[in-house]
Chains A and B, each alone.
Chain A
Amino acid sequence: MHAVIPFVTAALLFGLGVYGVLRRRNAILVLMAVELMLNAVNLVLVTADATVSAGLGHRGGVFALFVIVLAAAEVGVGLAIVLQWYRMRAAVQVDEVALHHEADAG
C-alpha cells in the first residue's frame, strides 16, 4: 500500500474545506465545509496509524474516534446557534452578522 495516496487525498480534502469555509455565505454550508476539514484530519490520523506508527497500537484510530465525537458536539451546538440566529434575524448569511453591534443587539 502506498502511503502517499491517502495522505494526498486528505490534504486535498482539507484544502477544499478551507476553500468552502472562506467561499460560502450560508452558515450551514460553512459547517459542511468544516466537516470536510475534520474528516481530512481524521484521514491523516488513521493513515498514520496504518503506516508511520504501525505496530504501536491503534492510537490514531482512537484519536479519530475522539475527533468524531468532538465534531458531533460541534455540529450540535453550531446548528443551535445558527437556528437561533435565524429566529432572531431571519438570515443565515455569515457575512451579515454584525459583530460590532454586540452591545446593543437585542
Chain B
Amino acid sequence: MTVADALLLALGALAVGSGALVVTSAQIVRAGLYLVVSLGAIAGLYLVLGAELVAWVQVLVYVGAVVVLLLFAVMLTRAPIGPSDDLDRPAWPALIVGGGVGLGLAVLFADAFRWSIHPLPAPGTAERMGAEIFGTWVLPFEVLSILLLAALVGAIVLSRPDIGARKGGEA
C-alpha cells in the first residue's frame, strides 16, 4: 500500500460517497454542490493517475461550467430551496438495476485485475497531450469543434421560440 494507493482509496471513497449523496439528496441545490465535490475528487484521481491536463480540464469544464449551468437551470425552473419530497420515483426498480450494474461491473473489474500492481506512468502533461491530439487525433478534434458549434446553435434555437417556431407554425 503506497502513497498513491492511499490517495486513490481516499479520493475514490470521497467521489463515491458524494456521488451517492447526489442521487439521494432531497434538496436540489445540495445535490448540485455534492456533484462539485464528486467531480473534484475525480479530478484528484486523474492527477494521481498522471493525467494532469485531463484533471485541469475537468476542473475547468465540469466544476467550472457544467455545474454552474446546472445550478442556473435549478434557479430558472424555480426549484424549491428547502427539502422536497416529490423528487423521487419508487426506489426498488432503480435500486435493482443500478445496484446490479454497479456491483456487477465492480466484480468484473475486481476479477479481471485482482491485486495487480502497475507502475505509475509518465504524467500526461499539456505538451504530450497536445502532441497526441494534434498528431493522431486531429480529425476527431475538428469534428468535435463542429459539434460544439451545432450544440450552440441548437441551444439558441431551442430557447428562442420565436425563431424555432418559424417554420412549422407552432413549436
**B120-A75 in contact (CB<8A):** no
Closest to B11 in A: A9
Q: By the criterion of a CB under 8 Å from any partner CB, how many residues of chain B are at the interface?
A: 92
**A23-B79 in contact (CB<8A):** no
**B62-A61 in contact (CB<8A):** no
**When chains A and B are docked, how far (Å) is the Cα of A51 from the Cα of B49?**
9
**A5-B155 in contact (CB<8A):** no
A97 at the interface (CB under 8 A from B): no
Number of A-B contacts (CB under 8 A): 284
Chain A residues, Cβ within 8 Å of B155 = 76-77, 79-80
**When chains A and B are docked, how far (Å) is the Cα of A78 from the Cα of B170?**
21
A11-B108, A81-B158, A92-B77 given; A68·B61 CB < 8 A:
yes
Instruction: Give residues of chain B (119-159) contacting chain A, Cβ–Cβ below 8 Å.
Output: 119-121, 124, 128-129, 132-133, 136-137, 140-141, 144, 147-148, 150-152, 154-155, 158-159
**A28-B74 in contact (CB<8A):** yes
**A73-B151 in contact (CB<8A):** yes
- A interface SS class: helix
Contact of A28 among B15, B73, B114, B118 (CB under 8 A): B73
23 pairs of residues in contact across A and B, judged by CB atoms under 8 Å: A1-B118, A2-B116, A8-B106, A12-B16, A16-B16, A16-B98, A17-B23, A18-B102, A25-B88, A31-B70, A35-B70, A51-B118, A54-B119, A58-B132, A61-B53, A62-B136, A64-B46, A66-B140, A69-B147, A81-B158, A82-B77, A86-B77, A95-B89
Q: Which residues of A contact B (CB under 8 A)?
A: 1-26, 28-29, 31-33, 35-36, 39, 42-43, 46-47, 49-51, 54-55, 57-62, 64-66, 68-77, 79-84, 86-88, 92-93, 95, 106
Q: Which residues of B contact A (CB under 8 A)?
A: 2, 4-5, 8-9, 12, 15-16, 19-20, 22-23, 28, 31-32, 35, 38-39, 42, 45-46, 49-51, 53-54, 57-58, 61-62, 65-66, 69-70, 72-74, 76-77, 79, 86-89, 91, 93-95, 97-103, 105-106, 108-110, 112-121, 124, 128-129, 132-133, 136-137, 140-141, 144, 147-148, 150-152, 154-155, 158-159, 161, 170-171
